[in-house]
Structure 1
């Protein structure tokens, strides 16, 4: 066996069980095949977007405002609960019940100050005469903390009608994410009325939070249903390096801070391990971090070159990233909306068009060139 063959064999052995390095998937430059149309301006930090049947949308603004946007006119929704607008906390995600046309339920997450400190809360309500009514608390993460970061949060329904929502670990990374007796650093699964499904992974175990579906998360700001498989996909912020995309599995541990592909902000080592038995590997991770926020799968035929891709917003580098997968592995990456600004959310509307929420700019619609 010659030296080249020996080196090749050593390379193959060393790579077994490891993921493709992010830098092995080059980020392609933007191909400008679209124009941007402003749907609503004057929204400082847009977060969640929910589309109504009449073509209008509800948009949450982090400071505590819900805008009802119709024909490019913004109306402030009344009776929105008071939010704790500090640091990364505030008014967060908003989604409609899958049977909204029949029951009218709207689901919202936000940071609330009830007692000392704050934490993430999930409510549902109905919209009548541009006001929230019948407000119900479905879940409140405990205990509170005075720290002002890593609230999450996103909401999504699966094909069976279960509701999932994310809550970040609130900066308590050596306390919360690995402890299922405590909230935070978790993905939760509930029935649509806030009750806990009987088949949740930790139901019946002593002293645990039975709403938990998965744990070991850091700061999940992306949660979406894969339209083909029905799986729930999530992305979360790592520290310096190691932002992740995960497929959420029942009862699974996603590792933070036991394993990570990143280092701390002072360049110290958080963990020497990137993988461990019993801990789920991300299907993709970013080095360096892009600070992902919002995500959506592209379906339909409006954007043929983007179809079946996953769009992810980047706060850090201020662009939209299109990732394409084969067998749940990234095979290509491309920039879209380069230098657009801090991109908070991206969603495909029922009309098939892609809408993005950009800090300081509001809601923009991506219109493909004919």
Structure 2
């Protein structure tokens, strides 16, 4: 059923105090989304939302279109696996090109894949795979899937270790537990750090990760931030540099889910330390850098969507270093999957629920 934003707002506005004594509202733009994962803005009041079971949805001026977008590839939807990111190309208004990431295959053998497609407002056409991880893995956990376009036109994807295969994160002949970098047509950039190295996959940009689900580019300081899930504690925020080893599973601030020690080391020569870590785990799932005008006091801050903590974290980054964190939206009691800054400067979040919501934060 079509849902007008005005109808959804009735009884759903929260008045909350900012740390700087400002006020903001949390508005439900649309509800009825099944485990939404990613949000993208197309302009003219149109947004795209992915649902993990494999649907791409259109939101037009606050109304959720009844019919999902046609032409989405079949996905392996189980547990943590399914349809992940939707990312419009920088020239989307002219080309109609966007990118999707998802899990391809089945429980016994699956891969995280990126496809390039054209969207005409109703359906996807010219759907072409441009990257597929290798080797295949079994199970439905830790597939990664977060995408990021860099200013040089290349495309990053953060990946997971497959949960049962954490040793793969230290191997350069496996995409598990890495960030990969490709051109938007699938070609491999010649300046990738392991191009030409025997036994190394040339798409690998960094490795030693557990399960990356947040990527953002800080243009002011020309750096890439990524966050990843730890096990029981040890979630990390990292600055990503090419060819760097981030340590997992040889280095970690977390313990296994059984509470057993995974490693006695929190640092090791040749392995990068995180900018910060969260112990106990908050389960970071989305990442944005605020550069809008609606909340001028938040410019340059990182925003982290958290599943386990059911919150949105604001991290001031004065001088390029993290300051005291503010925990927001805990009163909602909903898992927060994604966070984005809209063209209007408002902050948009997706709640990872069977009846998930798209929320909008604006100054009051």
- TM-score above 0.5, yes or no: yes
The equivalences for 1:82-231 within 5 A come to 82-113=74-105, 116-231=108-223
- The reply to whether residue 367 of structure 1 matches residue 359 of structure 2 is no
The alpha carbon displacement at 1:63 in A equals 0.6
The equivalences for 1:228-267 within 5 A come to 228-267=220-259
CA–CA separation in structure 1 for the residues paired with 2:200 and 2:92:
32
CA contact (8 A) 2:182 2:203 kept: yes
User: Secondary structure of the residue that 1:205 maps to in structure 2?
Assistant: coil
What is the aligned partner in structure 1 of residue 34 from structure 2? 44
CA–CA separation in structure 2 for the residues paired with 1:175 and 1:120:
18
CA contact (8 A) 1:159 1:230 kept: no
CA–CA separation in structure 1 for the residues paired with 2:250 and 2:189:
28
CA contact (8 A) 2:147 2:156 kept: yes
The alpha carbon displacement at 1:143 in A equals 2.0
Q: How many residues of Structure 1 are paired with residues of Structure 2 in the alignment?
A: 342
| Bigger Rg, which one | 1
What is the aligned partner in structure 1 of residue 342 from structure 2? 349
The alpha carbon displacement at 1:361 in A equals 3.1
Deviation readout 1:80-117 (Å, 9 max, x if unpaired): 11111111100001111122223221011101116942
What is the aligned partner in structure 2 of residue 9 from structure 1? none
Aligned CA distance change for structure 1 residues 337 and 133 (closer, same or farther; 3 Å): same
CA–CA separation in structure 2 for the residues paired with 1:181 and 1:66:
33
The alpha carbon displacement at 1:339 in A equals 3.0
CA contact (8 A) 2:314 2:325 kept: yes
The alpha carbon displacement at 1:70 in A equals 0.3
Aligned CA distance change for structure 1 residues 190 and 365 (closer, same or farther; 3 Å): same
CA contact (8 A) 2:159 2:176 kept: yes
Deviation readout 1:314-348 (Å, 9 max, x if unpaired): 11111100011234322111011123210000000
CA–CA separation in structure 2 for the residues paired with 1:178 and 1:123:
26
TM-score by length of 2: 0.90
Out of 269, 275, 279, the residue aligned to residue 287 of structure 1 is 279
Structure 1 gaps, min length 5: 1-27
Deviation readout 1:37-58 (Å, 9 max, x if unpaired): 1222101211111100222111
CA contact (8 A) 1:29 1:335 kept: no
Aligned CA distance change for structure 1 residues 113 and 64 (closer, same or farther; 3 Å): same
TM-score by length of 1: 0.89
Structure 2 gaps, min length 5: 1-17
Aligned CA distance change for structure 1 residues 150 and 115 (closer, same or farther; 3 Å): closer
What is the aligned partner in structure 2 of residue 25 from structure 1? none
Aligned CA distance change for structure 1 residues 185 and 324 (closer, same or farther; 3 Å): same
Misfit runs of 4+, over 6 Å: 28-32
CA–CA separation in structure 1 for the residues paired with 2:208 and 2:271:
9
CA–CA separation in structure 1 for the residues paired with 2:23 and 2:63:
27
What is the aligned partner in structure 1 of residue 311 from structure 2? 319
CA–CA separation in structure 1 for the residues paired with 2:20 and 2:336:
16
Deviation readout 1:167-226 (Å, 9 max, x if unpaired): 111114443110011121110111111100001001011232100000001010101111
CA contact (8 A) 1:168 1:219 kept: yes
